[in-house]
Structure 1
Amino acid sequence: MPTALPFSRDHIQPGNRLCVAVSGGADSVALLLALHEANTAKRDALGVGLSAAHVHHGIREAAESDADLAFVQDLCIQLDIPLHIHRADVPARAAENRETLEEAAREVRYAFFRTLIASGHADSILTAHTLDDQAETVLMKLLRGAWTEGISGIHPIVSIHQTGQRSGNILRPLLATRRSEIEAFLQSRNQPWHTDSTNADTAYTRNRVRHELLPQLRTYNPSIDHTLANLAELAREEEFRWQAELARILPQLLLPGKPVRGGGRAVSTAPGTSSVSIEIDRLRTLDPALRRRVLRAAARQLGFRLSFDDTTRLLALAGFATLSTVAARSGASVHLASGLRAQRSARELQLSTEVIGEVDFTRFP
């Protein structure tokens, strides 16, 4: 038999129930076939329960989507692998939730994956993201101005924790594999696959990056795909290190609510309001990198993600950056992303979700 397709066996143990997300495209078909071969091998067999999952998104013409579903059904029958099918109207969901089609499709898929894990059909869902997908993702994140958590790209494992339900994982065992290797593997097995017609539509950002930007970048660096994938790995390690450090020091830095006269602190119990404070002198003892991360982590505790510009405004309010539009004095305040408010007192910097003063009430659901 021709050479097997290598995939990561990290986080795969004998007895696991693995469910492969199969669209019918080359990547997912190759992953399912590679796992099936490894599971039925005479030596070093995986020893897992193997199934597949397919989502009928309702995005493309019905004939094309139905053909993909029929192809996946036939493949699973041929391999004697159980198939879980989910039908959804992604365009309707996107319109209702004001999402892009890509965002809505992803939410539908991952909700289905969580259901499969919660129902006990799978311990882990395996998706066929490749090194090419990783490079595209990191580049898209860079273009959008992401922080290290963003440029960490597609993670090899994502834990799914659901309150009161079974937990599991999303695994990406092909992240070190090139798309060209996958197609060569399928051709060696005479295994056909389906090509999604939307993959060529440059109305989608990922397709423009794939078909226009990355080919240009390869003329500057032929190894740009590996370079971007390496950057993602470095960013994941950096982020893991920072998160551990923040978990250690945040309880010592963040103060709930507001100080009250005579000592102590008052915490609001009004629905939709919460606040957290940090002493300016404590911030002053931190190096710039840690200071920035502490402020962003404080905002995250209130449910907000700060942009680079909003973080700079917050630093300026605390007196650690200079902006003509922000005064670093007691009583000064700024309004940040989506209703988050920051206020400076003589001793503290307070972040609050309270609806006060000039906040636009229409910004709140």
Structure 2
Amino acid sequence: MPSFVNKVKNTIKKYNLFSENDKVIVAVSGGADSVALLFLLFSLKEEYNLELFVAHFNHQIRGEEAEADVLFVRRIAQQLTLPFIVKKRDVPAYAKRRKLSLEEAARDLRYKFLEEAAKKKGATKIALGHNKDDQIETVLMRLLRGGGSQGLGGMSPKRIIANGANIVRPLIETSRKEILDFLKQKKIKFREDSSNRETVYLRNRVRHRLLPYLERYNPRIGQILFNTAENLREENEYLEEIAKKAFSQVSQPPTTFSKGSRQGRKVVGGKKVILSLNKLTRFHLAIQKRLLRLAIKEAKGDTRQIAYQHWQSLNGLINKNKKNLFLDLPQLRIQKEYDRIVFVKAGKGKRR
């Protein structure tokens, strides 16, 4: 069995996570996973000629404990003589203002901070400490909430973001036990997040209750879920590539338009995405769904709050023989106009 370091190096090679001379933002919370990631990348620094930056985000959720995390990570950065980037934001206030769960708000602000840090430092990679167990838990959580092949494929080992940098997960094929064993062997200290034991969070309930229960039926359930996610992710990535190529065939160039009102709902100035219905329906349903998702993301900016029932409503709109129909989805209006379907970002207003 390969050592911890060699196993991670195999993952790096398999997914081409790093290139020579990469500038890397390493997200370090102070917990076992991120600390192990930092020390491992530091050990590979010369081999890959990496320039590392330690980044820490204070969510202002855990009071003095969170402040202690900042000091702990700062000391590690100083120990390794690496640049330290830190930012704090009031996540609970942001969650309340945006009507998000605490977990969603924390993720939003954390990723925004990391992307800003990457842009400021000219970094090509943002390294995160998600491990194999995190992947298994993520797949189960998405299954419970409802998800297609994209969601059930779990977290991607490598994903490009808006500014051209890549989010990379070198520990994604490494178990939590292997990480803890590595830290123990190297006598590396880390911080324990007390919130990881609180079952108010879905992930913790999945970790401490659901997975142990499922292991009664199959002790290898974690590995099976991990393998399934990998297969779904690979197939989805292939279908996504086909859909992206097909999108240029079925869409008209995006246009902009002024703010105004259409049938009682405010329309926000921005992109207007148009698809040809005749061309759209020539594709297999699996590609059609991906084309519609791409159109929604292009117009709205993301696919958040778009649930299964919304996809059913959209499918019904497309298949009706009537013309000049419209459908209001969260922050989006979809209009069927003869042989085309139009996607427009919309503000808050009366649902129809």
Residues of 2 paired with 1:134 and 1:100: CA distance?
20
Residue by residue, what CA displacement relative to the aligned partner does 1:48-93 show, whole Å, maximum 9, x if unpaired?
Answer: 222311112210022x112222222222333333322222222222
Who is 2:308 aligned against? 308
Q: Secondary structure at the match of 1:85?
A: strand
Change in 2 beyond 3 A, CA 1:317/1:121: closer
Q: CA contact under 8 A between 2:24 and 2:52: conserved in structure 1?
A: yes
Deviation at 1:183, TM superposition (A): 0.5
Who is 1:187 aligned against? 184
Deviation at 1:27, TM superposition (A): 0.6
Residue type of the partner of 1:350? I
Q: CA contact under 8 A between 1:57 and 1:89: conserved in structure 2?
A: yes
Who is 1:37 aligned against? 43
2:209 corresponds to which of 193, 212, 215: 212
Change in 2 beyond 3 A, CA 1:361/1:90: closer
TM normalised by structure 1 equals 0.80
Q: Secondary structure at the match of 2:199?
A: coil
Q: CA contact under 8 A between 1:342 and 1:349: conserved in structure 2?
A: no
Deviation at 1:120, TM superposition (A): 1.9
Q: CA contact under 8 A between 1:157 and 1:172: conserved in structure 2?
A: yes
Who is 1:85 aligned against? 86
Residues of 2 paired with 1:284 and 1:74: CA distance?
58
Who is 2:145 aligned against? 144
TM normalised by structure 2 equals 0.83
Who is 1:54 aligned against? 56
Change in 2 beyond 3 A, CA 1:81/1:252: closer
Residues of 2 paired with 1:129 and 1:354: CA distance?
33
Residues of 2 paired with 1:268 and 1:20: CA distance?
38
Change in 2 beyond 3 A, CA 1:47/1:276: closer
Matched, 1:269 2:257: yes
Q: CA contact under 8 A between 1:17 and 1:49: conserved in structure 2?
A: yes
Q: CA contact under 8 A between 1:30 and 1:182: conserved in structure 2?
A: yes
Residues of 1 paired with 2:348 and 2:159: CA distance?
37
Residues of 1 paired with 2:173 and 2:240: CA distance?
25
Who is 1:228 aligned against? 225
Deviation at 1:187, TM superposition (A): 0.9
Q: CA contact under 8 A between 1:256 and 1:277: conserved in structure 2?
A: no
Residues of 2 paired with 1:317 and 1:115: CA distance?
40
Q: CA contact under 8 A between 1:333 and 1:341: conserved in structure 2?
A: no
Q: CA contact under 8 A between 2:249 and 2:279: conserved in structure 1?
A: no
2:251 corresponds to which of 250, 254, 270: 254
Who is 2:105 aligned against? 104
Residue by residue, what CA displacement relative to the aligned partner does 1:300-344 show, whole Å, maximum 9, x if unpaired?
Answer: 34327343322223333333xxxxxxxx33247352422544555
Change in 2 beyond 3 A, CA 1:332/1:226: same
Change in 2 beyond 3 A, CA 1:228/1:113: same
Change in 2 beyond 3 A, CA 1:160/1:332: closer
Q: CA contact under 8 A between 1:124 and 1:171: conserved in structure 2?
A: yes
Q: CA contact under 8 A between 2:4 and 2:178: conserved in structure 1?
A: no
Deviation at 1:298, TM superposition (A): 3.5
Residues of 1 paired with 2:26 and 2:138: CA distance?
21
Matched residues, percent identical? 34
2:344 corresponds to which of 344, 353, 361: 353
Higher strand share: 2
Change in 2 beyond 3 A, CA 1:329/1:360: farther
Q: CA contact under 8 A between 2:295 and 2:343: conserved in structure 1?
A: no
Q: Secondary structure at the match of 2:330?
A: helix
Q: How many residues align?
A: 332
Change in 2 beyond 3 A, CA 1:360/1:161: closer
Who is 1:338 aligned against? 330
Residue by residue, what CA displacement relative to the aligned partner does 1:288-309 show, whole Å, maximum 9, x if unpaired?
Answer: 3333333443433432734332
Residue type of the partner of 1:317? L
Q: CA contact under 8 A between 1:90 and 1:104: conserved in structure 2?
A: yes
Higher helix share: 2
1:244 corresponds to which of 217, 222, 241: 241
Deviation at 1:113, TM superposition (A): 1.3
Change in 2 beyond 3 A, CA 1:336/1:116: same
2:18 corresponds to which of 12, 16, 20: 12
Who is 1:21 aligned against? 27
Residue type of the partner of 1:307? A
Who is 1:129 aligned against? 130
Q: CA contact under 8 A between 1:157 and 1:169: conserved in structure 2?
A: yes
Residues of 2 paired with 1:255 and 1:160: CA distance?
24
Residues of 1 paired with 2:283 and 2:330: CA distance?
27
Deviation at 1:103, TM superposition (A): 1.6
